Amino acid sequence: MGLLDGKVAIITGASKGIGRALSVRFVKEGAAVIAAARSGDLVKETVAMATKNGGRVIPFIGDASVEADVRRMVDEGVKAFGKITTLVGNAGDGGPTKKVEEYTMEDWQYTIGSCLTSSYLCTRFAVPEMRKAGGGSIVYISSGAGRRGLPYRIGYCSAKAGQVGMTYGMARELAPEIRVNCVAPGAVEGDRIDSVIAGQARVRGISVEEMRQSMVDRNPLKRFVTADDIVDATVFFASDNARSISGQVLAVNAGEPNG
């Protein structure tokens, strides 16, 4: 028996990193999964990993910030598995690291679209199917940057703060049939945080090693978290073990204050 037996989950941003780890674990825990991403080759690799030992998962290639793609994603998921019970809004690009006066309108629209508009659209189209299924659970993957801020990442911080606000609003609107929660990761080991560290070091005029150490030092546990740490929290929120939990934002960040 898995924690997610009987669930049918849409997981966006499933091509790599947290999204790939989520897809693999959800299948392992018994869920059927629609693994969605813009990169066809990468999301097919995710599907291959998730189904290595069996399980039900289909790839969806499309952009979660485009209305027509999201509508098609939900339709294909229902066609494949008969229902949708769970949405994990993980899609999103980190956007550029720039001073605000250098941050262009294109930078802003792209980052808000990929991180926040995608969560709105997926919610909009998944909710009717979740209601038909008798209810379900939504988990947004936000960021500590949306709660405490991060210099030179204005678009990303704003989008991730928007996901937090969406959590609170949707939890009230969709109750009691649908629970809505949010996981707010701190720095997660992997390619993305390496890129963020490099960008922050460049803008601040310090070395990459100094920037990385400063980020580690501010965490009481003195380490970055892993994708599996985020997956553990998300599986819990999506499972019936969290049946009485909604409207919550859980920081998974090695104890970093205000994150």
Q: What is the mean pLDDT of residues 230-251?
A: 98
Looking at residue 32, the DSSP 8-state letter turns out to be: E
- Which CATH number does the domain housing residue 96 bear? 3.40.50.720
124 plus 191 within the same structural domain: no
Asked if 234 and 183 count as a contact pair (C-beta separation under 8 A), the reply is yes
How many distinct structural domains can be found in the chain? 2
Q: Tens of pLDDT along 5-40?
A: 999 999 999 999 999 999 999 999 999 999 999 988
Place 230 in a pLDDT band, splitting at 50, 70 and 90: very high
> What is the tally of helices (H) and strands (E) in the chain?
10, 7
13 plus 130 within the same structural domain: yes
- Summary mean pLDDT of the chain: 95
Query: Which residues lie across from 189 on neighbouring strands?
Result: none
In a domain, 1, yes or no: no
Euclidean distance between CA atoms 234 and 26, whole angstroms = 9
The better pLDDT of the pair 242, 212 is held by 242
In a domain, 34, yes or no: yes
Return the number of other C-beta atoms located less than 10 Å from residue 236's C-beta.
Answer: 16
What's residue 88's pLDDT? 98
Does residue 80 carry a pLDDT above 70? yes
Is residue 215 within a helix (H) or strand (E), and if so which, with residue range? Answer: helix 208-217
Q: What is the mean pLDDT of residues 180-205?
A: 89
108 plus 204 within the same structural domain: no
In a domain, 38, yes or no: yes
Euclidean distance between CA atoms 17 and 175, whole angstroms = 31
One-letter amino acid identity for 49?
M
- Long-range Cβ pairs for the range 234-237 (8 Å, 24+): 234/22, 234/88, 234/139, 234/141, 234/183, 235/3, 235/4, 235/25, 235/26, 235/29, 236/3, 237/137, 237/139, 237/179, 237/181, 237/183
What's residue 208's pLDDT? 87
Q: Tens of pLDDT along 152-182?
A: 999 999 999 999 999 999 999 999 999 999 9
In a domain, 111, yes or no: yes
Domain limits for position 209:
187-224
Catalytically active residues are 156
Between the two ends of the chain, the Cα-to-Cα distance in Å is 34
The number of residues making up the chain comes to 259
One-letter amino acid identity for 219?
N
